[in-house]
Chain A
Amino acid sequence: MAEMMSLRKMKVEQKGIIRMVTGDGELGRRIRDMGIVPNTEFMVLGKAPLKDPVAIRLRDFTLTLRNSEADFIFVDPIEG
């Protein structure tokens, strides 16, 4: 768990596993409703031209979220 980091810091094409989602209320709810819950594998697909929002692939679909929202999501990168 030592390497757990915020989703914002992940690079494009990097893969990881979601470990913890902090946000509560509407934001937390919307993130979780889209399937961002612990132990979900994902890959960073790309970033918008101004580096924000970020697009990730999980559960066979593509999700975009702002960096400020990615800050609530903590992940373990998968090496390779």
Chain B
Amino acid sequence: MDKQLTLALAGNPNSGKTTMYNALTGARQRVGNYPGVTVEHREGDARHNGQDLTIVDLPGTYSLTAYTPEELVARDYIVERRPHAVVNIVDATSLERNLYLSLQFMELGVPVVIALNMMDAVRKQGKEIDTALLSKLLGLPVVETVARTGDGKHALLEEAIRFSGEKQGQWEPLTISYGPDLDPVIHQMETVIEKHDFLTGRAPSRWVAIKFLENDEQVVKMGARQDAETTATLTKMTEDVARHCRSTLKISPESLIADYRYGYIASLMKEGVVRAVRPQARLQLSDQLDKVLTQQFMGPAIMIGILYTIFYATFTLGEIPMGWVENFFSWFSGLATSILPEGMLQSMVVDGIIGGVGGVLGFVPLIMVMFMMIAFLEDSGYMARMAYMMDRVMRAFGLHGSSVMPFIVSGGIAGGCAVPGVMATRTLRSPKEKLATVLTAPFMCCGAKVPVIILISAAFFDNSASVMFWTVIGGWVAALLVAKLLRSTVIKGESTPFVMELPPYRMPTLKGLLIHTWERAWSYIKKAGTVILGISILIWAMMTFPGLPETKVADYEAQRTTAESTLSAEGLEQRLSELNNLESQEALRYSVAGKIGTAMESVTQFAGFDWRTNIALVGGFAAKEVIVSTLGTAYSLGEVDAEETEGLSKRLAADPTWSVATAVALLVFVMLYAPCFVTVVVIARETSWKWATFSVVFNTGFAFALSVIAYQFTRAVMGG
């Protein structure tokens, strides 16, 4: 037994599968994506009695149809990679529904070992399960487990190793009767399939026949590629029997199959697998909690309270380690400045690399705290309740109840961040709704937009708080309306069925939370880090090159020398810093970014933006805070700290090229234009580069159109 055994963990969502996976593999895990889809592939190693094991955590599914990427991935893995056994984690508190998936594995024929998980909860409910009987009825090993405590995990591995050794990779498909209407056809189809050796290398012939009757797109397509003629024959047989079923039973073969599967399970249950030993309390704790937590008025009120608390806690707690990371990077850039000789290399390392990467890594603590909270909500079962309560509202905009969380995290309450917001859409299992959420979440008022809003409102409006409030509301309105727009144009299509389980409330395990959080943070650091380093340097270069021509530099040098020889110490210092700032301003204007800014003036003037604003907005693509500091340089105020913008505010208010109309237009633009590139990278990870590019182009165009309207309208009204 020196051969590595591969076990695939499968089961319904919320069955405790991931908890079991963590219990079996500990921290020795590898996470990646399945090619082409954003479904996570996890595998880890374990060792049991000297046997090395690879444990693959398949995505949680209720069934093995071809409708969701999760189900396809789970099915493909088993068919293509043929693991030595499937370890099916079953939530024993709802045995019937969980066995529906087990049955489909058994029909496929792969060796299955069942883990009856959450046995502690079953006993608490006053029920008993006859494990030996269930094992005999199903003809496979059944082991009782409690994943949270790790109870039964050794017995489970023991059985899995024994059973897969016994089977030796042999698949023995289970045959279920699908009744007098389908059984004869299935038999005929099997004959056809075997005669033509149709897909038989991959799956049992009966399984292929059933998949045809279920109109399984993937199997039919794969069949058509291999043997179009046989596919046509089988499709014809399917259509004939479908017509017959519809006319006599008023039901499609597909439905009939599901009915018979549940019928089969019901017949097993009748043998007395589950026994009630104590009468069950009418309402369990979970139901009692739901009476309050999803109540018509209290439910939403409590939800707002919980969201606000999480948000507040995240940003207060996250700020502390974020400060450490920032301090570390400012210490590091100080060190680099003192070691490296002054010049291009120093500027690139300090401003480009350390500044850029430091800015990105500064998000890590925030992401970790945020994900800890989200994981808690998810694992405890509350997230499903939020989706349940909010679905009616979100659906009106073509979204899903689960879209609320990503919006809030992104800045639905001012100060969020779209990076964890976009990552939070992973919980959304409906592809179209998820895409619409990902694309609109960056409209929310994230923390980096806040200094810009404060700067502008301090300069042009009396009541900063109300400006802030309305921009946040504006973010929501824009996100929801654009979601509606996208869902009726580029991401058109019926809404994905909601049909969702409300799992019982459970206390999450600390280990689960920590692993989950670390995984997210690490994937962010790793994947985003590489692209971001490149873009940081690119943006730095755009704002640096080409430097001022030598004559100009000499000119400033001459002015400095003049100042040094004519002015007293106090006046000199002032004059020198003035000169430095003027030189930076001119160098910025002379740079590639400056030239782009100037070139764009002819277009952006319709929104009231001059070259200075343009450069700042280009820089804002790196991170929205950069808008403030770049404006500072462009107005020759030197570097302006995003937290202390009073001087810049005054400067803008006094500037004749600025008006209230410009301010309104800029607010609109900053709220809506291209997400910062960190977000873009994350969008690409969650969807594809195609959609990430779309979000940059579309958002910028949309923002520009609206800011032109805002500018022209405000000017017309105010006569400015």
Contacts and interface: CB of A to CB of B under 8 A. Distances in A.
Interface of A: 21, 24, 26-35, 37-38, 40, 45-46, 48-53, 55, 59-66, 69
A71 B274 CA distance: 32
Given A32-B255, A35-B100, A59-B96, A53 B391 contact: yes
B389 A49 contact: yes
Contact of B258 (A33, A53, A55, A66): A33
B132 interface: no
Interface string B236-256: 000000000000000010110
B691 interface: no
B97 A59 contact: yes
B497 A30 contact: yes
Given A24-B254, A53-B498, 18 more contacts: A24-B255, A26-B67, A26-B497, A27-B497, A27-B499, A28-B252, A29-B67, A29-B254, A32-B258, A34-B501, A35-B97, A37-B262, A49-B295, A49-B392, A53-B388, A55-B294, A60-B96, A69-B499
15 contacts: A32-B255, A34-B499, A35-B97, A35-B100, A37-B263, A48-B294, A48-B391, A53-B388, A53-B392, A53-B498, A55-B290, A59-B96, A64-B498, A66-B395, A69-B499
Nearest to A72: B497
A46 B290 CA distance: 9
Interface of B: 62-63, 65, 67, 91, 93-97, 100, 252, 254-255, 258-259, 262-263, 287, 290-291, 294-297, 299-300, 384, 388-389, 391-393, 395, 401, 496-504
B388 A48 contact: yes
A16 to B, nearest CB: 17
B502 A55 contact: yes
A56 to B, nearest CB: 10
A32 B497 CA distance: 12
A30 B430 CA distance: 12
Main DSSP-derived SS at the B contact region: helix
Contacts of A40: 262
Contact of A24 (B97, B252, B384, B504): B252
Contact of A52 (B259, B262, B392, B503): B392
B294 A46 contact: yes
A60 B95 contact: yes
Contacts of B297: 49
Name which of B63, B254, B502 has the most chain A CB atoms within 10 A of its CB.
B502
Given A29-B65, A60-B93, A45 B287 contact: yes
Contacts of A55: 290, 294, 388, 502
Contacts of A62: 501-504
Contacts of A31: 497, 499
A24 B603 CA distance: 52
A38 B259 contact: yes
Name which of B91, B389, B500 has the most chain A CB atoms within 10 A of its CB.
B500
Contacts of A24: 252, 254-255
Report the 10 A-B pairs with minimum CB-CB distance, sorted nearest first: A32-B258, A61-B94, A50-B392, A33-B63, A62-B502, A60-B94, A35-B97, A59-B96, A27-B497, A66-B498
A60 B499 CA distance: 16
Contacts of B401: 53
B534 to A, nearest CB: 41
A69 B389 contact: no
A31 B497 CA distance: 9
Contacts of A48: 294, 388-389, 391-392
Name which of B252, B290, B498 has the most chain A CB atoms within 10 A of its CB.
B498
Nearest to A36: B499
B267 to A, nearest CB: 12
Nearest to B297: A49
Nearest to A27: B497
A33 B404 CA distance: 26
Contacts of B500: 63-65
Contacts of B501: 34, 61-64
A62 B290 CA distance: 11
Contacts of A52: 391-392
Name which of B95, B392, B499, B500 has the most chain A CB atoms within 10 A of its CB.
B499
A70 to B, nearest CB: 10
Given A24-B255, A49-B299, A66 B100 contact: no
A15 to B, nearest CB: 12
Contacts of B502: 55, 62-64
Contacts of A26: 67, 496-497
A31 B259 CA distance: 11
A55 B97 CA distance: 16
Contacts of B384: 64
B94 A59 contact: yes
B259 A32 contact: yes
A28 B255 contact: yes
Contacts of B291: 46
Nearest to B290: A46
Contacts of A69: 497-499
Contact of A30 (B67, B299, B395): B67
A62 B381 CA distance: 12
A62 B385 CA distance: 11
A21 B259 CA distance: 10
Contacts of A45: 287, 290
Nearest to B260: A37
Name which of A33, A34, A48, A60 has the most chain B CB atoms within 10 A of its CB.
A33
Given A27-B497, A61-B501, A69-B499, A33 B62 contact: yes
B252 to A, nearest CB: 5
A52 B501 CA distance: 15
B287 A37 contact: no
B635 to A, nearest CB: 50
A21 B500 CA distance: 17
B94 A49 contact: no
Contacts of A21: 255
Contact of A29 (B258, B391, B393): B258
Contacts of B96: 35, 59-60
Name which of A29, A38, A50, A51 has the most chain B CB atoms within 10 A of its CB.
A29
